[in-house]
Amino acid sequence: MGGRGDRPGQPSGARSGRGGRGGGERLAVPPAEFTSYYGRPVLKEPVWTWDIAAYLFTGGLAAGSSLVAAGGQLTGRPVLRRAGRVTSLVAVGASAYFLIADLGRPARFHHMLRVVKVTSPMSVGTWVLSVFGPAAGVAAVSEVASWLPERGVWGVGRRVLPPVGQVAGLVAAVSAPALATYTGVLLADTAVPSWHEAYPELPVIFAGSALASGAGVGLVAASPGEAGPARRLAVAGAALELWGAHRVETRLGLLSEPYAVGRAGRLLRAGRVLTAVGVVGALLGRRSRVVSVVSGAALLAASVCTRFGIFHGGVASARDPRYTVVPQRERLARRAAGEG
């Protein structure tokens, strides 16, 4: 495996000598063509399909919605609290479905709970999901307390569920940051070049995306007068998401390329535009229900685009040997220069 046409001490595609009309430089060697043994890829392409990209989105949505619910709970905004709790339960249920679908059968999720390995993002994520899911479920179920009869067994539930739901909602909110970011750590922990090299930015992007999507739920569900915490969350999430996306598209050198071209590039550009539209609408729509709903929908769509864009960018980098070979050569050259 290697780049054909490379010569020692001379970079690929270098020009030497002068010739031709106008004194232009003549190409001495053909551009490097990266191949591997038997034409097989250098890295085994991830077998993950769209359901894992969807899992990245729903996990972030569950985490962000639980934070919106906690904001509504602590500031006395019942509609915001209810919308956040119900969305969080639905989203974490979808996350469990997508994860188990990827694992193949539910028993494998159970088997992962047999051990706790703090150095494994997958193990930590499984336990975080196991804490967050039941807490989000109890908090959401407690919302039906006001519909229960006042007498009998149902009356006991009517009195007990609200305080239990308050505690469960806070437990879900406390574990939400870990749920929102562990998937970014999980992707960066693989050998996929553009995911691995973006290890400082992926958790930040996923945290921002989670906050923005949770804020989107609040803006869609609550009236403008009750959506104050969601608006503040939208600004914070958009700032983190846009900063992180800008970094992966500019800091990684060659490994930024998969995030800027093809399907990943289109999705990430759409995500940036929708995030900007959403946050501007959140700030300007303080008195308009329509603007608030549109901005919330834009933030949710932006989160989908960002998660799928990051996913497809990493998969594209694993398919092309250039994204594995060139950075390795650059690291070896820097190491040799340092030792010299």
pLDDT tops 80 at residue 254: yes
Percent of the chain with pLDDT over 70: 87
pLDDT (tens digit, 9 = 90+) per residue, 144-203? 988 888 888 888 888 999 999 999 999 999 999 999 999 999 999 988 999 999 999 999
Q: Count other C-beta atoms under 10 Å from residue 48's C-beta.
A: 16
* Max mean pLDDT range (108-117, 235-244, 321-330): 235-244
DSSP helix/strand/coil, 16: strand
For residue 202, report the phi and psi dihedrals to the nearest 5 degrees. Answer: -60, -45
pLDDT band at 28 (very low <50, low <70, confident <90, very high): low
**3-state secondary structure string, 138-170?**
HHHHHHHHHHCCCCHHHHHHHHHHHHHHHHHHH
pLDDT band at 3 (very low <50, low <70, confident <90, very high): very low
**3-state secondary structure string, 305-329?**
HHHHHHHHHHHHHHHCCHHHHHHHH
pLDDT band at 5 (very low <50, low <70, confident <90, very high): very low
**How far is 176 from 187, CA to CA, in rounded Å?**
18
**How far is 141 from 340, CA to CA, in rounded Å?**
66
* Tokens representing residue 180 in the block: 């929102």
Q: Which of 14-18, 90-94, 212-216, 260-264 has the lowest mean pLDDT?
A: 14-18
What is the DSSP code (8-state) at residue 29?
S
Note the pLDDT of residue 212.
Answer: 95
DSSP helix/strand/coil, 297: helix
| Gyration radius of the chain's alpha carbons | 24
pLDDT (tens digit, 9 = 90+) per residue, 30-58? 666 666 666 666 777 777 888 889 999 99
* Partners of 34 in beta bridges: 3
Exposure on the CB side of residue 213, measured as CA atoms within 13 A: 30
In sequence order, the 6+-apart residues with CB closer than 8 A to the CB of 196 are 188, 189, 190
In sequence order, the 6+-apart residues with CB closer than 8 A to the CB of 106 are 100
Which of 246, 247, 130, 243 has the alpha carbon at shortest distance from 182? 130
pLDDT tops 90 at residue 26: no
**How far is 175 from 130, CA to CA, in rounded Å?**
10
Note the pLDDT of residue 169.
Answer: 95
Given its phi and psi angles, is residue 38 left (phi above 0), alpha (psi -120 to 50 degrees) or beta? Answer: left
pLDDT band at 290 (very low <50, low <70, confident <90, very high): very high
**pLDDT, average across residues 14-37:** 53
What is the DSSP code (8-state) at residue 256?
G
* Tokens representing residue 58 in the block: 């729903």
Note the pLDDT of residue 96.
Answer: 86
* Tokens representing residue 213 in the block: 């999507």
Longest dimension (CA), the chain: 98
**How far is 141 from 44, CA to CA, in rounded Å?**
43
Sign of the CA dihedral 82, 87, 92, 97? positive
